[in-house]
């Protein structure tokens, strides 16, 4: 998916003004930028000359500076947190939402994160340490602990007062959902602010709360959280411990980020690259080389079989050298149709349009696609060879091989993702290059054995 880069008019236009303010009256920076969305403030911060950035951050009230940190480029954020004193850093991160605070500290060297943590006071420190204990890409690692809950047996009026008090206490996280808990802190129901406001006077929370609540354990991976968010149109997914007690919630903005990152991993795998786990320019040269070399060597070794296969048919080759001219054409046609099949099936598996039990249906369909497309290309190939002045026998070999190789391609391309899924692996491992290697060897064998048979 393409998130086209915007023009950044906001940041670009305002940078000169901000710099002027920093020079002449830094005390006015806060007021001048008061109405800006934090994401735009972060754009400005990213557009400023790097050496003036700390100055800019200091000119903002701590709460606003914390907002900026929530939206700032991660690399830049880590640099700033390293440069300032541990106490300054602690003051800022304590004002971030718990989930963003956790992310910010996770990106730092463990020593530095500990330094900052030790400067955070009491409750907030404990809360942060608990969140840091979870694996980053799980519900526990993504969640915020700032959630609003009320006793399940409360009256609607009391609940409203409770919510109002929480809102006034300056909680930053939006109140997407209100959770109804029992005496032991277990989740009993959920309702929205809208439903609370619409409730008739005198009713109780149990009257308005939905009991069929979608929830996850802290260990749930982010794909599961994303699936539930998408299926149930949620804006927050509650996270419960083994006893059903409410620990926190993963909000939809973090789910969207998770979806985009998961997509990046999948796309990279489909291109035969081990997931970089970092933006392109932030990943180091040698880490990228390593993640590519793995696949390149594996595919190279597999492809060596084509050399061995061709060597076996040396006699046939020598007898009709023209056969050789069409080798790239044949193996690329198999590889291309295989790529298409692998792409379609991998994606369909990923979004749930195809399930393992559909395997037979899929293979039948893909096999027939292979026949249709292979016959089409086979005719082209046959014609090309004849037009090149070769014998109709050679043309026949090329044409029929094309058909066979395209069918092989579609079947292999469809089978590999299904097999990987069955074995519990990510189907995206069945990348285009992977499928092509399989099909190349098969293609060489089909081609030359058919040629040897027909032309002898």
Among 21, 354, 411, 452, binds its own copies (CB under 8 A): 354
3-class DSSP state for residue 100?
helix
363 scored as a contact of its own copies (CB under 8 A): no
Which of 450, 250, 418, 398 minimizes the C-alpha distance to 346?
418
What is the x/- site pattern for its own copies, positions 291-310, by CB under 8 A? -xx-xxx-xx--xx-xx--x
Interaction of residue 12 with its own copies, rule CB under 8 A: no
Burial class (CB within 10 angstroms; exposed 0-12, middle 13-18, buried 19+) of 401: buried
Q: Which of residues 236-255 bind its own copies (CB under 8 A)?
A: 252-253, 255
Q: Could you tell me the two tokens for 330? A: 């044949």
The per-residue DSSP string of 332-392 comes to HHHHHHHHHHHHHHHHHHHHTSS-GGGHHHHHHHHHHHHHHHHHHHHHHHHHHHHHTT--H
Buried b or exposed e, range 134-155, using 16+ CB within 10 angstroms: beebbbbbbbbbbbbbbebebb
Stretch that binds its own copies, among 50-58, 87-95, 180-188, 259-267 (CB under 8 A): 259-267
Q: CA 81 to CA 15: how far, in whole Å?
A: 22
Residue whose CB is less far from its own copies, 87 or 422: 422
Nearer to its own copies, 57 or 196 (CB): 196
Judged by CB under 8 A, which stretch of 21-29, 125-133, 240-248, 369-377 contacts its own copies? 369-377
Q: Is 440 in the site for its own copies (CB under 8 A)?
A: yes
74 binds its own copies (CB under 8 A): no
Q: How far is the CB of 114 from its own copies (least distance, A)?
A: 29
Contact region with its own copies (CB under 8 A), list: 55-63, 103-111, 123-131, 219-227: 219-227
Cα separation, 393 vs 381, whole angstroms: 13
Return the residue of 94, 215, 268, 415 that touches its own copies, per CB under 8 A.
268
Which of 185, 194, 133, 141 is closest to 163 using CA atoms? 194
Q: How far apart are CA 66 and CA 117, in angstroms?
A: 16
- Dmax (CA) for the chain in angstroms is 95
Please pick, from the candidates 135, 167, 241, 392, the single residue that binds its own copies as defined by CB under 8 A. 167
Q: Report if residue 256 touches its own copies, rule: CB under 8 A.
A: yes
422 in contact with its own copies (CB under 8 A): no
Q: Choose, by CB under 8 A, the member of 24, 35, 51, 123 that binds its own copies.
A: 35
Choice between 55 and 426, CB closer to its own copies: 426
Site membership for its own copies, residue 314 (CB under 8 A): yes
How many residues at the interface with its own copies, by CB under 8 A? Answer: 138
Residues 382-421 within binding reach of its own copies (CB under 8 A): 384, 388, 406
Please give the residues from 193 up to 212 whose contact with its own copies meets the rule CB under 8 A.
Answer: 193-195, 197-198, 210-212
Stretch binding its own copies (CB under 8 A), from 54-62, 180-188, 242-250, 313-321 = 313-321
CB 92 within 8 A of CB 62: yes
DSSP state, residue 280: T
Is residue 226 within the footprint of its own copies (CB under 8 A)?
A: yes
Fill in the per-residue mask, 122 to 161: x = in contact with its own copies (CB under 8 A), - = not in contact: --------------------------------------x-
Distance in Å, CB of 119 to its own copies, minimum:
27
Nearest to 173 by CA among 252, 256, 62: 252
Residue 151 pairs in a beta bridge with 181
Stretch binding its own copies (CB under 8 A), from 76-84, 119-127, 133-141, 287-295? 287-295
* Residue 230 binds its own copies, judged by CB under 8 A: yes
In the list 25, 85, 118, 263, the residue contacting its own copies (rule: CB under 8 A) is 263
Spell 233-267 as b/e; 16+ CB within 10 A means b. Answer: ebebbbbbeeeeebbbbbbbebbeebbeebebbbe
Could you give the CA distance from residue 403 to residue 387 in angstroms, rounded to a whole number?
A: 19
- Is 333 a binder of its own copies (CB under 8 A)? yes
Tokens of 306: 């084509």
Answer for which of 436, 442, 446, 451 binds its own copies (CB under 8 A) is: 436
CA distance linking residue 286 with residue 293, whole number of Å: 10
State phi, psi for 186 to the nearest 5 degrees. Answer: -85, 145
> Is 1 near its own copies (CB under 8 A)?
yes
Is position 432 an interface residue for its own copies (rule: CB under 8 A)?
A: yes
Torsion angle of C-alpha atoms 122, 125, 130, 132, degrees rounded to 10: -170
> Segment 39-68, which members bind its own copies (CB under 8 A)?
39-40
Position among 74, 106, 224, 277 found at the interface with its own copies (CB under 8 A): 224
- Please identify which residue in 30, 175, 359, 429 interacts with its own copies, judged by CB under 8 A: 175
Residue with Cβ nearer its own copies (112 or 347): 347
């Amino acid at each position: 998916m393409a998130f086209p880069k915007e023009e950044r008019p906001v940041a670009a236009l305002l940078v000169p003004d901000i710099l002027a303010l920093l020079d002449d009256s830094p005390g006015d920076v806060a007021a001048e930028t008061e109405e800006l969305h934090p994401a735009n403030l972060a754009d400005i911060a990213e557009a400023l000359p790097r050496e003036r950035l700390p100055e800019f951050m200091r000119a903002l009230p701590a709460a606003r500076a914390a907002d900026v940190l929530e939206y700032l480029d991660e690399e830049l954020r880590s640099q700033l947190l390293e440069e300032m004193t541990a106490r300054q850093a602690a003051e800022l991160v304590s004002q971030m939402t718990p989930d963003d605070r956790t992310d910010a500290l996770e990106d730092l060297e463990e020593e530095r994160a500990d330094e900052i943590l030790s400067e955070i006071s009491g409750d907030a420190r404990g809360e942060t340490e608990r969140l840091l204990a979870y694996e980053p890409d799980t519900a526990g690692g993504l969640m915020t602990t700032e959630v609003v809950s009320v006793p399940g047996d409360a009256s609607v009026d009391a609940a409203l007062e409770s919510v109002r008090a929480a809102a006034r206490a300056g909680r930053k996280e939006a109140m997407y959902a209100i959770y109804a808990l029992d005496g032991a802190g277990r989740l009993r129901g959920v309702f929205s602010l809208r439903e609370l406001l619409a409730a008739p006077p005198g009713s109780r929370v149990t009257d308005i709360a939905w009991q069929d609540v979608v929830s996850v354990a802290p260990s749930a991976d982010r794909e599961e959280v994303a699936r539930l968010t998408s299926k149930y149109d949620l804006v927050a997914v509650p996270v419960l411990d083994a006893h059903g007690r409410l620990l926190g919630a993963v909000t939809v903005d973090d789910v969207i980020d998770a979806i985009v990152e998961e997509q990046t991993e999948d796309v990279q795998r489909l291109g035969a690259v081990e997931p970089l786990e970092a933006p392109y320019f932030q990943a180091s040269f040698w880490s990228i080389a390593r993640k590519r070399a793995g696949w390149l060597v594996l595919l190279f070794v597999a492809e060596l079989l084509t050399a061995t296969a061709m060597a076996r048919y040396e006699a046939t080759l020598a007898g009709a050298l023209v056969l050789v001219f069409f080798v790239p054409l044949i193996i690329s046609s198999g590889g291309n149709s295989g790529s298409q099949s692998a792409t379609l099936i991998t994606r369909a598996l990923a979004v749930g349009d195809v399930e393992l039990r559909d395997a037979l249906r899929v293979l039948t369909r893909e096999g027939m696609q292979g026949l249709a497309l292979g016959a089409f290309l086979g005719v082209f190939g046959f014609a090309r060879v004849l037009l090149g002045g070769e014998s109709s026998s050679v043309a026949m070999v090329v044409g029929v091989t094309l058909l066979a190789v395209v069918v092989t391609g579609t079947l292999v391309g469809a089978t590999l993702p299904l097999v990987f899924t069955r074995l519990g692996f990510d189907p995206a491992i069945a990348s285009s290059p992977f499928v092509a290697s399989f099909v190349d060897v098969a293609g060489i064998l089909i081609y030359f054995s058919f040629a040897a048979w027909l032309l002898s």
